Structure 1
Amino acid sequence: MNASSPRADDLAKRLTAFMNEHVYPAEAVFERQLKEASDHWSELPITTELKAKAKTAKLWNLWLPKAHFAEGLTNLEYAPLCEIMGRSPIGPETFNCSAPDTGNMETLILYGSEEQKQRWLPPLMEGEIRSCFAMTEPDVASSDATNIRTEITRDGDTYVINGRKWWTTGAPDKRCKIAIMMGRTEPDAPSHKQQSMILVPMDTPGVTVIRPLTVFGYDDAPHGHAEVSFVNVRVPASNILVGEGRGFEIAQGRLGPGRIHHCMRTIGLAERALETLCRRALTRKAFGKPLADQGVTRHWIAESRMEIDQARLLTLHAARMIDEFGTKAARAEIAMIKVVAPNMAQKVVDRAIQICGAGGLSQDFHLAYAYARARSIRILDGPDEVHRETIAKMELRKHATGGVDAGSNV
């Protein structure tokens, strides 16, 4: 499979050089500035500095889809770049390519009115503001989005919103100015027509960030995740995206490419973990010989190499399917990568932690945080079980013809 183009190859080389020169050395600076910051939820100086350098290097907004921008990339071209950025937890934001902003910007491009685009896209694309996506709710099983109970009620020229969300990534961030929120506009409609998406400025009266949430103790500041309440929040009726009852349609359009991004970033995380495993194995001795000479270590390295490459190829295949046939046609492939990539990364990181011993659990390595991120992605954008169900249903549908398999003895 050829994922390359001359432009994408050039961007990959330049991006790798930028990561080596600027991003990896900045990780320790980021951690130090975060600990010293009086305001935990505002952009750090090192982030501002990195973003300015990325703009100067013309490595900004690499996520732009070719379908909508002449200078954009296909999903297949962008995927390897996403992997490179995903090697560092501070990589994607440096290039204005981090979630949930990329998904929100693409949602505005695909489904926003001209007025909505003009107001929100320029500051998001310039990195002047950030955004959040409010879908998951604490009181229902949100893996089934038909359960969502936040109410969006039409009142003349406005909508009134009441509900409570959590795991709203980006909401604690002082730069977060706009939320795309999913809620119920038509409770009596068929289940997949009840939900809508609406734009809610975060400074609207009645919007309250209740608390930040942690992932295995990590708060992911300064962007973070939050529980947010909406109490009699009133926004103009023009803030609805596309129209009432289109929430599921928008979600599928948004989450397809977004899952490609998540999976490729996760593959980058796993690749870096394998590098750490190998370097540690070559430099540490136990029981009279290097860890790299222990049979179990070599097996872990071999398994990790095979699993990473398998996940990458499957993700690139899904990206090609989206490019050629659209998100709906690539539904099975997208579901497969969403299961395969984070499970693979979790295993690879776990092996690296084991080789690094107690150090792998500490702040001296990137692995503990990498494990937390890999584990969270198995729930983010839908848990493994939901995606496995989708894959199985689509596979069974291929064979539900009532005939007998030609290779069967039954």
Structure 2
Amino acid sequence: MAELSERDVAGARAGGGVAASGGAGPASDGLPGRVAAFVAEHVVPHEGLLDAGGPRADAVLRELQERARRAGLWALPLPAEWGGQGLCLERYAAFAEVEGASDHGPAVLGSAPLLDVLMLRAHGTVRIREEYLTGLVAGDLRTCYAMTEPDVPGTDPFLTATRATREPDGSWRLTGRKWFTSGAGGADLVTVLARTDGAPPDRDGLSLFLVPTASPGFRLVRELPVLGASGQWEIAFDGVRVPADHLVGARGAALAVAGERLQLGRTLRCLRWLGQAQRAFDLMAARAVTRTGSRGPLSSQQLVQRHVFESLLALRTTRPLVHEAVARLATGEDAHVEVGLAKVAAARTLQQVVDAAIQVHGAAGLGPDTALPALLRTGRAARILDGPDESHITSVARRVLGGYV
């Protein structure tokens, strides 16, 4: 995201934030407020530098992570046995919005590897758990997840062409290419979806492997800017040797493991998108009441009031959908319909609210002095990430209609 002005920082601090302005509500220990204050005071002012990447950004990230540790906010939802604080999903959801109001919030506060840690704790071998989990929770190791391939629809994993071939000593030889792999440029480990049996489009024979990126044959092909923003990569596996005990889950069970990950991952994204939408709303409201022209403040104009109303309506109607998905996942119930509804609604809400905020800001909303251009980019990408809207709409409708047959 772009560097924010002092007004933005003050707005983020005043907004919360999110719990005070319509978020999930305060927890008994005040964590939402503490997390919101930390993100506003320590993360938001450094967003431009962190976005740029490179050695200086890495150094600032480490410094901010140390501040989070000293504040007692490090790795709140990660398992306690590996060094986290062990908060359950429902408690984490109470402040995941404000943490995610900045793209860098989860990384600074140590919750970014949550999906990988939970997956490896549940499905990793003894060696994987002993060798990597403590480092992941401590922030000493970084992971990424490689599923999508060039020229293969991301919503159709049965067409996966990356191949893992069993060697005589029990290890695997991995060959293929992945793209739009978030964070691959700085990752120490990558979880890879590969075909171990059969051929595309067989529904069976897909497995997951945990691959150290220092392995011979692993290659960063190129960075893939998304609407101008960095962080996505195309990567290649040129005959990478993977130890036998780096298989994640059973051979051929990749889609079951990935399904667990996707449900939670989509829900966490929804919470973070809500936080970013609330941030855009706060910026819009602050602009409306402080910007004055020859006809008075913007807040007195009915069309501006309509932007505020429609944005608030979107936030207030989307938030319960997301927390319903959280509740079902927390109790182990089937949440396909709830997660699908939440994903589409949260992505739409983020795009809608940011667009309205830009409209209220006018030309200032297009420039580098607010976070709005970066938030708009996130909002547009959200309608494709983790499955396009169309895929979720179709899936939810089929499940619902199936109940009437």
Please report the TM-score for the alignment, with normalisation by the length of structure 1: 0.88
2:45 partner letter:
P
Structure 1 contact 67–74 (Cα < 8 Å) conserved? no
Q: Which residue of 2 aligns with 1:309?
A: 316
2:41 partner letter:
E
2:249 partner letter:
V
Secondary structure at the aligned position of 1:325 is classed as coil
Q: Which residue of 1 aligns with 2:173?
A: 160
> Which one of the candidate residues 202, 223, 227 is aligned to 1:212?
223
2:109 partner letter:
F
Give the Å deviation of 1:318: 0.6
Give the Å deviation of 1:143: 1.4
Give the Å deviation of 1:293: 1.2
Secondary structure at the aligned position of 1:192 is classed as coil
Q: Which residue of 1 aligns with 2:87?
A: 73
In structure 2, the CA distance between the partners of 1:133 and 1:61, relative to structure 1 (3 Å rule), is same
| 1:16 equivalenced with 2:41 (yes/no) | no
In structure 2, the CA distance between the partners of 1:283 and 1:71, relative to structure 1 (3 Å rule), is closer
Structure 1 contact 213–225 (Cα < 8 Å) conserved? yes
Q: Which residue of 1 aligns with 2:103?
A: 89
Q: Which residue of 2 aligns with 1:407?
A: none
Structure 1, unaligned stretches of length 5 or more? 401-410
- For 2:201 and 2:72, how far apart are their aligned partners in 1? 47
Secondary structure at the aligned position of 1:167 is classed as strand
- For 1:251 and 1:227, how far apart are their aligned partners in 2? 20
Identity of aligned residues (%): 34
Q: Which residue of 2 aligns with 1:280?
A: 287
Give the Å deviation of 1:44: 2.7
- For 2:317 and 2:174, how far apart are their aligned partners in 1? 44
Give the Å deviation of 1:69: 9.6
Structure 2 contact 270–343 (Cα < 8 Å) conserved? yes
Q: Which residue of 2 aligns with 1:387?
A: 392
Q: Which residue of 2 aligns with 1:270?
A: 277
- For 2:56 and 2:133, how far apart are their aligned partners in 1? 21
Q: Which residue of 2 aligns with 1:324?
A: 331
Q: Which residue of 1 aligns with 2:189?
A: 178
For each residue in 1:312-371, what CA deviation from the matched residue of structure 2 results, as whole angstroms up to 9, or x when unmatched? 111111100111134xx1111111111110111001001111111122111111000111
Structure 1 contact 75–257 (Cα < 8 Å) conserved? no
Q: Which residue of 1 aligns with 2:245?
A: 238
Give the Å deviation of 1:195: 1.1
Q: Which residue of 2 aligns with 1:295?
A: 302
Q: Which residue of 2 aligns with 1:398?
A: 403
| 1:63 equivalenced with 2:77 (yes/no) | yes
Secondary structure at the aligned position of 1:168 is classed as strand
Secondary structure at the aligned position of 1:399 is classed as coil
Q: Which residue of 2 aligns with 1:335?
A: 340
For each residue in 1:288-325, what CA deviation from the matched residue of structure 2 results, as whole angstroms up to 9, or x when unmatched? 12211111111110111111121111111110011113
Deviates more, 1:183-192 or 1:256-265: 183-192
Q: Which residue of 2 aligns with 1:121?
A: 133
In structure 2, the CA distance between the partners of 1:201 and 1:29, relative to structure 1 (3 Å rule), is closer
- For 1:391 and 1:369, how far apart are their aligned partners in 2? 30
Structure 1 contact 192–245 (Cα < 8 Å) conserved? no
Please report the TM-score for the alignment, with normalisation by the length of structure 2: 0.89
Structure 2, unaligned stretches of length 5 or more? 1-22
Give the Å deviation of 1:68: 10
In structure 2, the CA distance between the partners of 1:368 and 1:305, relative to structure 1 (3 Å rule), is same
> Which one of the candidate residues 45, 67, 70 is aligned to 1:53?
67
Instruction: Supply the RMSD in Å over aligned alpha carbons.
Output: 2.3
